[in-house]
Amino acid sequence: MKAFVENRFGLLALVVVALTAMYGAAYVTRPAPLPPPPAGPRKVAVESVTAVCPGTKGEQVDVYLPDTLNREKMDAGPYVTKGPGALEAGYVTRTTKGAGRGLAGVRCTEPSPETWLVGPGPADADVRLHLANADKAPALTDIQIHAAEGVVSGDKGIGLEIAPGEHKEIDLKTLAPSADIMAVSVTTVFGRVAVAARTTLDTGGVDWLPAAAPPSTRAVVPGIPGGGGRRQLLVAAPGESDAAVRLKAVSEDAEYVMKGRETLDVPAGSVAALDVTTGVGGSSAALVLTSPVPIVAGLVATGTGSRSDVAFTAGTPSLDLGSAVAGNRAGSRLVLTALGGPGKVRVREVPDGDAFDVEVPAGRTKNVRLKAKGSFAVVVTPVSGEVYGARVVEERLKSGLLLTAQPLSPARMWTLLPPLTDTARVVVP
Task: Determine what percent of the chain is predicted with pLDDT higher than 90.
Answer: 79
How much is the pLDDT for 421?
64
How much is the pLDDT for 428?
54
Task: Compute the half-sphere exposure of residue 9: CA atoms within 13 Å on the CB side of its CA.
Answer: 0
* Pairwise CA distance, residues 47 & 66, whole Å: 14
pLDDT in tens, 304-323: 999 999 999 999 999 999 99
* Pairwise CA distance, residues 376 & 156, whole Å: 41
CA distances from 9 to 12, 188, 310, 363 (A): 5, 77, 95, 76
Q: Is the pLDDT of residue 4 over 90?
A: no
CA distances from 249 to 256, 258, 358 (A): 5, 7, 21
Mean pLDDT of the chain: 91
Nearest partner of 313 among 207, 216, 200, judged by Cα: 207
Q: Is the pLDDT of residue 26 over 80?
A: no
Query: Taking the complete model, does pTM exceed 0.85, yes or no?
Result: yes
pLDDT in tens, 30-51: 655 655 656 667 778 888 899 9
pLDDT in tens, 247-298: 999 999 999 999 999 999 999 999 999 999 999 999 999 999 999 999 999 9
If pLDDT is split at 50, 70 and 90, which confidence band does 11 have? Answer: low
11 or 254: which carries more pLDDT confidence?
254
331 or 6: which carries more pLDDT confidence?
331
Which of 83-87, 96-100, 274-278, 366-370 shows the lowest per-residue confidence on average (mean pLDDT)?
Answer: 96-100
Helix/strand/coil for 9 = helix
Q: What is the mean pLDDT of residues 208-237?
A: 97
pLDDT in tens, 364-405: 999 999 999 999 999 999 999 999 999 999 999 999 999 999
Q: Which residues contact 168 (CB under 8 A, 6 or more apart)?
A: 130, 131, 132, 160, 162
* Pairwise CA distance, residues 107 & 166, whole Å: 20
Say which amino acid occupies 85: G
How much is the pLDDT for 99?
82
pLDDT in tens, 141-188: 999 999 999 999 989 899 999 999 999 999 999 999 999 999 999 999
Q: What is the mean pLDDT of residues 101-124?
A: 96
* Pairwise CA distance, residues 12 & 312, whole Å: 84
Nearest partner of 222 among 387, 342, 370, 347, judged by Cα: 387
Task: Determine what percent of the chain is predicted with pLDDT higher than 70.
Answer: 88
Q: Residue 415 in contact with residue 321, Cβ under 8 Å?
A: yes
Nearest partner of 328 among 353, 354, 294, 304, judged by Cα: 353
How much is the pLDDT for 309?
96
How much is the pLDDT for 395?
96
If pLDDT is split at 50, 70 and 90, which confidence band does 76 have? Answer: confident
Q: How many CB atoms lie within 10 A of CB 234?
A: 26
Specify the DSSP element, H or E, that contains 20. helix 8-29
Specify the DSSP element, H or E, that contains 17. helix 8-29
Q: What is the mean pLDDT of residues 357-368?
A: 98
Q: What is the DSSP letter of 320?
A: G
